[in-house]
Chains A and B, each alone.
Chain A
């Protein structure tokens, strides 16, 4: 097991798949000569050249639309959106074209494409560049939405996504590229659509993903000092959503907190909570609590921004509340 950063994990996944399959290529804004705005594709341009590392115009419809077309005729493009906020410019392709082409034409077309997008707040980028709108995309059948919280999962899930014959939106978090974690040696794949218990515990269940995992792990350490052991289930994939490990954990703890970085209204917490009530109502010992972003556009000011984002103390308080 080697300990590497999230950035290295994603970079390794891309490189391994490009080496394995000549149909894989990368296209996006500043992915080539610049080396990627988050340096994920640093060195790729020199290694693979302009045919496989394509710097595009700043034109998201062209990026995602052309990636769809290339995928339809058998290539395996990885289209990068510099931030997930720019997916709104290409919304038609992300939610209205890519997820529908296979179904709408009776299975004739396949869109083996990965859209890599960087999301999340906390970098003082202001309201339009700091969002965590993952659930919007997870709303649409036909799209797979993956958002890992550890380097190990990022690498294994991204490699699987590249090999899938379906469109996958792969969401990374802007503040997590330096997060370090152990990854298995050699090649490995992680199936899309499987939740995972990232921390075992008996007192309460925290359901989360991506940045929420990092925050929940911190909260778990603090709670542990007070003798409270939480179990953390990482969704890893928002669509298809695997509730199996969540329900299993909940039946053990009977109490849950759902943590997400996006807004609470109509969010992951709403979905997960509702499903727990539907599937395990008899096991509920306390109302489930959602920890999420305050319902404001994220402000630039650092103090205000941090106040709007969910923090470990919010999770600690929520867990204590469900344990009352």
Chain B
């Protein structure tokens, strides 16, 4: 991978981390409402994954979507403005934290019903199959979503019809506060693909380069074989499920153990050890991100509220 691309991946991961940290502060200050699910700890997953796509490949995910939005190329200003419910957010303040999207960036949403977007992902791929192109739809979801019916209907349809979907399970060990072992009959989630005779693999989600390589390979398989594929990415969220999580289900030692394996930390270490880039370049990125996020917060805070007439806008197209 070229130096510029490595630095870009680093930039994206640091940017997501900082957006989430500032988001948490703004939430505590009462400036962000509703549910908010932070991506801290999981940055390497979507950064590596989306880094491996071609622009024509579609991305769709669940409600933990701020990072995915950033990786897809949505400006941080719009992400922050949507969090604050402003008219300048990409969903014009109508969607909030869980409903970020951009048709232009080929990001088909943030979806808030667990597993609900999986059949929709099959549909995005169906649209591509119908128009006879070889775009790949990358559909991300949590471990919890693999226990709901949508998952099984979506994977079955994708396999039966040869739809180009890369199913990406972000296994962060807990569906809200219930561990995979307590919720799923099969704790080794990738095995569930066997039931649909679907190719699958598992990758370390704390290492952005491993995710990138695995995603490249999987996307290539999906595109050339016209078959779906299940990629299980092992990861961990450092913060609670959402902002209102008492975290009674895990011990702080467990969180600390995973934080030693921090995706940004290990990528930084990797880059420095390989002498790919000097520490100065990484420090500069961090300073740049700080400024970028400050500006985004300012943009969001000074942006206008949606107009009252927007209450009735976009209920129907016609």
Instruction: Enumerate chain A interface residues (CB-CB to B < 8 A).
Output: 25, 51, 56-57, 59, 61-62, 64-75, 92-93, 96-97, 101-110, 112, 141-142, 144, 164-166
A102 close to B127 (CB less than 8 A): no
Please give, as numbers and ranges, the residues of chain B lying within 8 Å of A64 by CB-CB distance.
Answer: 119
Please give, as numbers and ranges, the residues of chain B lying within 8 Å of A104 by CB-CB distance.
Answer: 91, 94-95, 99
Asked whether any CB of chain A lies closer than 8 Å to the CB of B185, the reply is no
Please give, as numbers and ranges, the residues of chain B lying within 8 Å of A92 by CB-CB distance.
Answer: 113, 116, 150
A93 close to B119 (CB less than 8 A): yes
Please give, as numbers and ranges, the residues of chain B lying within 8 Å of A57 by CB-CB distance.
Answer: 153, 156-157, 160
Give the distance to chain B from A89, nearest Cβ to Cβ, in Å: 9
Query: 25 A–B contact pairs at CB < 8 A?
Result: A57-B153, A59-B153, A59-B156, A61-B150, A62-B156, A65-B119, A66-B122, A66-B126, A67-B123, A69-B108, A72-B108, A72-B120, A72-B127, A73-B127, A93-B119, A105-B90, A105-B109, A106-B90, A106-B91, A108-B90, A109-B101, A109-B109, A112-B317, A164-B318, A166-B317
Instruction: Enumerate chain B interface residues (CB-CB to A < 8 A).
Output: 58, 89-95, 99, 101-103, 108-109, 113, 116, 118-128, 130-131, 149-150, 153-154, 156-157, 160, 313-318
B120 close to A69 (CB less than 8 A): yes
**Contacting residue for A65 out of B90, B91, B130, B150, CB 8 A:** B150
A75 close to B125 (CB less than 8 A): no
Q: Which residue of B lies closest to A74 (CB)?
A: B127
A105 close to B95 (CB less than 8 A): yes
Q: Which residue of A lies closest to B313 (CB)?
A: A107
Give the distance to chain B from A95, nearest Cβ to Cβ, in Å: 11
A103 close to B314 (CB less than 8 A): yes
B127 close to A69 (CB less than 8 A): yes
A107 close to B92 (CB less than 8 A): yes
B120 close to A68 (CB less than 8 A): yes
Give the distance to chain B from A138, nearest Cβ to Cβ, in Å: 14
Given contacts A59-B157, A72-B108, 8 further A-B contacts (CB under 8 A): A71-B123, A73-B124, A73-B127, A75-B130, A93-B119, A104-B99, A109-B108, A142-B315
Give A261 to B317 CA distance when docked, in angstroms: 30
Give the distance to chain A from B147, nearest Cβ to Cβ, in Å: 14
Give A101 to B126 CA distance when docked, in angstroms: 18
**Contacting residue for B92 out of A59, A66, A74, A106, CB 8 A:** A106
